[in-house]
Chain A
Amino acid sequence: MLGNTFYNSIVKRNSVYVSTIFLGAFTFGVGFDVAVSSFWDRWNQGKQWKDIRDKYVQDADS
């Protein structure tokens, strides 16, 4: 059963539980940043420097 599996594998030892929480916080932070950045880029598409750089810079060492 899902609830018992979750409890026995993660919650039963507090060290595992806290480590899981910290790991989850890390992955959540990374995922949140990626999600917000992609949303920002989509929302401001065509307005940012990286989108319009080709119109102004043609040098070779870019």
Chain B
Amino acid sequence: MASFQAVKKSINLAPTVRTLPSGIPCAPRLNLSARAPAEGHDHGHSATGPRSDKPSRFTGTTRNSSLGLVSKTFVAPLPTTHFQPRLLHTSAVVKDTPEVPDFSPYRAQSDSTNRALSYVMIGSMGVLSASVAKSAITGFLESMAASADVLALAKTEVELANIPEGKNVIIKWRGKPVFIRHRTADEVAEARSVNWKKLRDPQSDEDRTKRPEWMIMLGVCTHLGCVPIGESGDFGGWFCPCHGSHYDISGRTRKGPAPLNLEIPPYDFNDAEGKLIVG
């Protein structure tokens, strides 16, 4: 059987019909629309008349030559269909499904690696954007912070040895007066003997001083911001001339319109150099 197939293939005939490059079909020695010789015969028309489907003369001619019947066509007929199956051909077989390229080199090798890589990329993006956001916020905050020249003025130093006992000193700190009083032992005892729980702004003298002999407070009246006068008033402390507020020797309000005690600034003692540092 196989040998018969081989034999059958080996005697495959060359095609008898072809198409010229101009698109005109070429069938040498064969034309089904050839003019018939004008002979009387019987297939559907009168005995002497031409065939009804005979094409016009300008489309082609037919003649009998020594090679046989030769037909020439001058006009290409319009195509009647778009699909022209070539049932007899020697070209390559057309596959019924389109060929898909091989994408395997581009595919991910494994799903888990692919997933991990995606999350690594997302995380790196997050790390970068978080860093950018952090540095942006830090830049804003640094621009709002106090500059070095302001910070240099924020502290004031006072030589404590220059202040004799029982004397007041007024210094300027951040644009405001600060009272420093070197209190005597009698004044300390007086300040501590007061029943402070009954006062308008109850505060003990121990809370208001770090060392009993040094009374440091802001010299701004808590009523409307005047500067009180030292060593005056009904309680031997400070007296505000504006509206008559009286403060005792611990700076606590005792009489008049002031609602609060005189404010205590942050301060520290530097024993090595005998200095007081306000701020």
Contacts and interface: CB of A to CB of B under 8 A. Distances in A.
Interface stretch (B116-124, B169-177, B182-190): B116-124
17 contacts: A1-B112, A1-B113, A3-B114, A3-B117, A4-B112, A4-B116, A6-B116, A7-B115, A11-B119, A17-B119, A18-B126, A21-B130, A24-B123, A24-B127, A25-B127, A25-B131, A26-B134
Interface residues of A, number: 19
Given A3-B115, A25-B134, A28-B128, 8 more contacts: A2-B113, A3-B113, A6-B119, A7-B119, A17-B119, A21-B127, A24-B127, A25-B127
A25 B123 CA distance: 10
Which 3 A-B residue pairings sit nearest by Cβ, starting from the closest?
A3-B116, A25-B130, A21-B126
A6 B126 contact: no
A22 B128 CA distance: 10
A19 to B, nearest CB: 11
B134 A7 contact: no
B116 A7 contact: yes
Interface residues of B, number: 17
Chain B facing A: main interface SS: helix
A6 B121 CA distance: 13
Contacts of A37: none
A17 B123 contact: yes
Given A21-B123, A25-B127, A3 B134 contact: no
Chain A facing B: main interface SS: helix
A32 interface: yes
A38 interface: no
A23 to B, nearest CB: 9
Interface in B125-146: 126-128, 130-131, 134-135
B5 interface: no
Among A1, A10, A21, A28, residue most surrounded by chain B Cβ atoms (within 10 Å): A21
Contact of A3 (B112, B131, B135): B112
B130 A20 contact: no
Nearest to B114: A3
Contacts of A26: 134
Contact of A7 (B112, B128, B130): B112
B97 interface: no
A23 B113 CA distance: 23
A7 B119 CA distance: 8
A28 B128 CA distance: 8
Contacts of A4: 112, 116
B162 interface: no
Contact of A29 (B119, B126, B135): B135
Contacts of A22: 130
Contact of A20 (B110, B123, B128): B123
A13 to B, nearest CB: 12
Nearest to A2: B116
Nearest to B126: A21
Contacts of A3: 110, 112-117
